[in-house]
Structure 1
Amino acid sequence: MREAMTEAEIHRLGVQIIRDELEREGWSILDINVNPKINPQIIARKNGTLGHVLIRTACHPKKGRIEDDYIIARCLEHASQLRAVCFFAGVRVSHAEASIRGEEQYMGTPIRGEGILVAYSGLEELRPEAVMTARGI
């Protein structure tokens, strides 16, 4: 029986995708937290730079974004205290088969055990003046 992925599974998938991407880019993963209510989701280090990565994952047609400026402000403050750089990763997932067939109405429902298409355009460094970017505005 085909079952849609849960919100928690979709978020964990997004965290895994970003973890894998960071490792490919040479980051050493120090800690991972898949709970979307605890930030950051990933703490990593590369070339002496400590990075805190906030991750949000959404289903097609949306892309993961941070809804609350307070979350960004708290993460920036915490990262600053640790001399870390704060990043945001917005991920979009789509049901691959529906995408290939052009069935727009089903693309936003990823199915367990079936193909997933991922849209991710890289890490965005978060700065106080860039809060609106992370919110997708």
Structure 2
Amino acid sequence: MSIELTTQELHNLAMNVVGKDLEKQGFEFISVNSQLKKDPQFVCLKNKKLHFVVVKAVLYPNNPEKYDVTYMETMKEHALKFKARTYYAGVGIANAKNYEAPITKNENYIINYNGIIEI
């Protein structure tokens, strides 16, 4: 029996992908929040500058690089109060066998992630 991943599990998957990418780029984590609808997910330091990263798990066929402009502008205004730079990280997730099928615990999946996008 295949059990579908919950929204929180998909979000955690996306968080892992982005977290590894940020580590590779030399970001230092100040705080990490993996709760859904609690943005930003990552507050990081790099070159002594503060960075806010908002992570979203995006299911196929939606484009992981397309984000809610109004919402991200609100996040940017919030970040500017802390002199922080704002980034969006969309992580596309699809079932490896059938893109249209749900993502389940016992099946492989495909990740579509092209890095963080500065807002």
TM-score by length of 1: 0.77
**Whole-Å Cα distance in 1 between the matches of residues 81 and 103 of structure 2?**
39
CA-based RMSD: 1.6
- TM-score in terms of structure 2 length: 0.88
The aligned residue for residue 21 of structure 2 is 21
Q: Which has the higher contact order (CA 8 A, sep 6+)?
A: 2
Segments of 4+ moved more than 6 angstroms? none
Matches within 5 A, 1:17-96: 17-64=17-64, 65-67=66-68, 69=70, 71-96=71-96
For the pair shown, which has the larger CA radius of gyration, 1 or 2? 1
Counterpart residue type for residue 125 of structure 1: E
Distance 1:5 1:92 in 2: 14
Identity of aligned residues (%): 25
SS in 2 for 1:105: coil
Report how far residue 22 of structure 1 moved: 0.4
How many residues matched? 118
Corresponding residue number in structure 1 for 2:104? 111
Q: Distance in 1 between matches of 2:39 and 2:57?
A: 14
Once the two structures are superposed, residues 90-110 of structure 1 have per-residue CA deviations (whole angstroms, 9 ceiling, x without a partner) of: 1101112x1xxxx3432xx11
In structure 2, the residue matched to 1:12 is 12
> Where does residue 125 of structure 1 map in the other structure?
118
- Structure 2 regions of 5+ residues with no counterpart? none
* Bigger helix fraction: 1
Query: Per-residue displacement from partner, 1:35-57 (whole Å, max 9, x unpaired)?
Result: 23111111111111211001111
CA contact (8 A) 1:57 1:63 kept: no
Per-residue CA deviations over 1:20-78 (Å, capped at 9, x if unaligned) read 11001111111111123111111111111211001111111113444361x32321112
User: Which consecutive unaligned segments of at least 5 residues does structure 1 have?
Assistant: 127-137
